[in-house]
Chain A
């Protein structure tokens, strides 16, 4: 057999390959990049916190991945999503994360609290005076977070079950994939009422009005924890610390969140 002629790539191809490799390395996660998976209700407040954290930690860059806490947990557990910090909207989801060993349990901290409210469209004629009113026929459609993956839905279900109303309200529920989707359904007046957090309702004061503040059997608290597999353990721990700092708490309070 004759040796096959050696293949020599033309110059333009070689140069192109070099550029490609350079571009790829630029895309690969930078050492000081921090990815934070956080509950949807934190969206507006955290977007404001990002630059504050970056200013306090020169060179660090924060990326946020917002979603329903349950869905975020699945991304971390199943997909092995390259996340550094997880902030959920309930203790239950964080407990699950801890049981699976995906978070640094020792560094888990509650960072804020929130309140469950019943909202109605601003134009609504029917405004419930008590949670029990939602069982009436005048409330045909009620938006709630999906209890299986959205914490606000879990709180809602807990309240309705404790009041013995779940069986009456459940057939009327429209499940939302995030709390903001439930808010949107009410804002568009596609539903007669909805369960969201006080902080979400405050985002659309011209479109929705708060009818009731609902006490929950389990308090609405947001725990944060660094991810065990994080490549930036130090920055991740710093972010959880930062959330508890006075400047961060001031921003969160401005958005309506309570102290943990």
Chain B
């Protein structure tokens, strides 16, 4: 049973890091695509959304080929920094991040596009710096939409299985997340372990949903203003 708690801690760590990274990249890319006008914007948007529709095993394979010790990026990382991503929890973070990225990016883009640009113009006439406008006007206005996307991406990262298994393997205590531990317990016929893991996972999922309801107080905030 102790193994289940280790797997849970690891799952939260992996999903947490993936969400933090997506917070940064998702907002940056979502903002860029929402505001910039350049040829191929729609194509880029489609490419960035691909992880949402592509089978996780396909993504896992792409990542394995790219980050593997013979892959273009993997070989470079090993040569320059001695960093190996395959079979590490950091590798699992990258897999979870890529899979969950479109959820943040899409939400951020939509949120930025619905902002009334007159509010930003008003700030500009008051002499506010562009960076200050972004952090004090634009981001707060878009925040609710982004937060919803972030919570979805955290939930998606918690359950990530296919790409993670391919990139990070299944090393108990190091890369074996909850969903992979469940898969392995079932394969090995260890029903007690599987039951416990499934129960813990279900409770965590309900807790995340409840927390999401608190963090995004839907109608109340909209009405109360």
Contacts and interface: CB of A to CB of B under 8 A. Distances in A.
B188 A146 contact: yes
Contacts of B86: 190
A189 B87 contact: no
B125 interface: no
B68 A148 contact: no
B189 A73 contact: yes
A175 interface: yes
Q: Is the interface of B mostly helix, strand, loop or mixed?
A: loop
Contacts of B184: 146, 148-149, 175, 177
Interface residues of B, number: 17
Interface in A110-157: 141, 146, 148-149
A5 B74 CA distance: 71
A194 interface: no
B212 to A, nearest CB: 33
A177 B185 CA distance: 11
B171 A188 contact: no
Contacts of A189: 68-70
Contacts of A74: 186-189
B108 interface: no
Contacts, number: 52
Contacts of B189: 70, 73-74, 77-78, 149
A190 B69 contact: yes
A99 B187 CA distance: 18
Contacts of B102: none
Given A141-B87, A174-B87, A174-B171, A188 B187 contact: no
A165 interface: no
A177 B187 contact: yes
A94 interface: no
Interface string A41-84: 00000000000000000000000000010110110011000000
A86 to B, nearest CB: 15
Indicate the member of A68, A77, A185, A188 with the most B CB atoms within 10 Å: A188
A188 B188 contact: no
Contacts of A148: 184, 187-188, 190
Contact of A188 (B68, B165, B186): B68
B26 interface: no
Nearest to B180: A177
Nearest to B172: A175
Contacts of A176: 169
Nearest to B185: A148
B111 interface: no
Contacts of A70: 187-189
Contacts of B172: 175
Interface string B22-50: 00000000000000000000000000000
Contacts of B68: 188-190
B169 A174 contact: yes
Contacts of A77: 189
A190 B68 CA distance: 7
B64 interface: yes
Nearest to B65: A188
B110 to A, nearest CB: 39
A8 B65 CA distance: 58
Nearest to A191: B87
Contacts of A188: 64, 68-70
B57 interface: no
Which 10 residue pairs are nearest across A and B when measured between Cβ atoms?
Answer: A148-B188, A149-B188, A71-B187, A149-B187, A190-B86, A74-B189, A174-B169, A189-B69, A188-B68, A175-B170
16 contacts: A73-B189, A74-B188, A146-B187, A148-B184, A148-B188, A149-B184, A173-B171, A175-B170, A175-B171, A175-B172, A175-B184, A177-B170, A185-B169, A189-B69, A190-B69, A190-B86
Given A175-B169, A175-B170, A175-B171, 11 more contacts: A70-B189, A71-B187, A74-B189, A146-B170, A149-B184, A149-B187, A149-B188, A177-B170, A188-B64, A188-B70, A190-B68
